[in-house]
Amino acid sequence: MERLQKVLAQAGVASRRRCEELIVQGSVEVNGKLVRELGTKVDPERDRIVVNGKPIKLERHVYLLLHKPTGVITSLSDPQGRRVVTDLLKGVKERVYPVGRLDYDTSGLLLLTNDGELANRLAHPSYEIDKVYRAWVKGIPSAESIKRLATGVRLEDGMTSPGRARLLKTSSDKQKAWIELTIHEGRNRQVRRMCEAIGHPVLTLERVRLGFLTLEGLRPGDYRLLTSEEVNKLKRGLQQRKQAKRGPL
C-alpha cells in the first residue's frame, strides 16, 4: 500500500505537490469513490484510480544513463528545432525526462527517468549528491582561486555552497588548465559562472560523475539502462541522507 499522491506522481499525472492539490480539489476517485484526504493509502496494482474521469496508467520505471554530447538541448522539445536529449534514445517507449540539466555546450553524464520521486530527490540540493565536473579553463588558477571554488564563490544569485576543487594539470604552453570541481547545487550555468568569477573562463566542460555513477564505457551519444543494483543503491543512499538530516528520533 502506498500514499495516493505518490502513486499519482509515479504514474506521471503531475508533480507530487500538484497531485496533492488534485486530491484536495476532488479530482481523484479510488474504486468509484471520491477521495479528498491526503495520505490515503492505495494498492496501485489492484485499486482503480481515476483522475478527472480518466484512469491512470502505471508505467514501468526506467532509469537511463546518457553520455550527453555538446550541441544537444537538455529538454523534451525545442522551438528552434535543435536536437534534444530524447532524440538520442532509440527504442525507449516510456516517456522519460532529464534529471537536472546540462547546458547546450556542456557534455557528460545525464540521468533520464520517469520516476518522479527519485528525480526530485536527486536534483534537490538538500540531498547533497556529488556532481563532478572537469573543465579546461583559460589561464592557470592559483591555489587561492582553487580554494575559492571549493569554499564558495559569490555570484549574482548569492554565494555558492561549499564543495571540492582541485587542479589536475596544465597545458604544455601554460595557457590552459584542467580542473575538477564537485558541487551539490544545480544553478543555471553554475560551474561556468564560478570559473568566470575567479577570472578563468571555461573553454570546455564535462560532467563526469553523479554520486557513484560514471561515464565508464559510454561514448558521447551512448546511453545504457541502470542495473537494478544501481537503482537500489541510489534509493538507499537518498533514504539514508533523508534520515540523517532528520536527526536522531
CATH value at residue 113: 3.30.70.580
Q: Specify if 248 maps to a domain.
A: no
- Residue 33 scores a pLDDT above 80: yes
Asked if 57 and 22 count as a contact pair (C-beta separation under 8 A), the reply is no
Q: Specify if 246 maps to a domain.
A: no
Whole-prediction pTM = 0.79
**Residues 21, 137: one domain?**
no
**Residues 145, 27: one domain?**
no
Is 130 one of the catalytic residues? Answer: no
Number of domains in the chain: 3
N- to C-terminal Cα separation, the chain: 25
**Residues 191, 232: one domain?**
no
**Residues 118, 233: one domain?**
yes
Cα(110)–Cα(65) distance, integer angstroms: 6
**Other Cβ atoms closer than 10 A to 108:** 22
**Residues 139, 200: one domain?**
yes
pLDDT at 59: 75
Per-residue confidence at 247, pLDDT binned at 50, 70, 90? low
Inter-CA distances, 129 with 18, 164, 234, Å: 25, 13, 10
Q: 171-223: per-residue pLDDT in tens?
A: 999 999 999 999 999 899 999 999 999 999 999 999 999 999 999 999 999 99
Assigned C-alpha cell, 36: 479528498
CATH number for position 46: 3.10.290.10
Asked if 65 and 223 count as a contact pair (C-beta separation under 8 A), the reply is yes
Residues in the chain: 249
Among 35, 55, 75, the domain-final residue is 55
Cα(125)–Cα(190) distance, integer angstroms: 13
- Residue 124 scores a pLDDT above 70: yes
Longest dimension (CA), the chain: 73
The helix/strand/coil state of 139 is coil
Radius of gyration of the chain (CA): 21
16-24 and 116-123 are packed helices; what angle lies between their axes, rounded to 10 degrees? 130
**Residues 77, 196: one domain?**
no
Mean pLDDT of the chain: 92
Q: Specify if 249 maps to a domain.
A: no
DSSP one-letter code for 116: H
Least confident interval from 6-15, 150-159, 179-188, 191-200? 6-15
Asked if 104 and 89 count as a contact pair (C-beta separation under 8 A), the reply is no
pLDDT at 245: 67
Containing domain of residue 6, as a range?
Answer: 2-55
**Residues 139, 111: one domain?**
no
Among 87, 103, 130, 157, the one annotated catalytic: 103
Per-residue confidence at 249, pLDDT binned at 50, 70, 90? very low
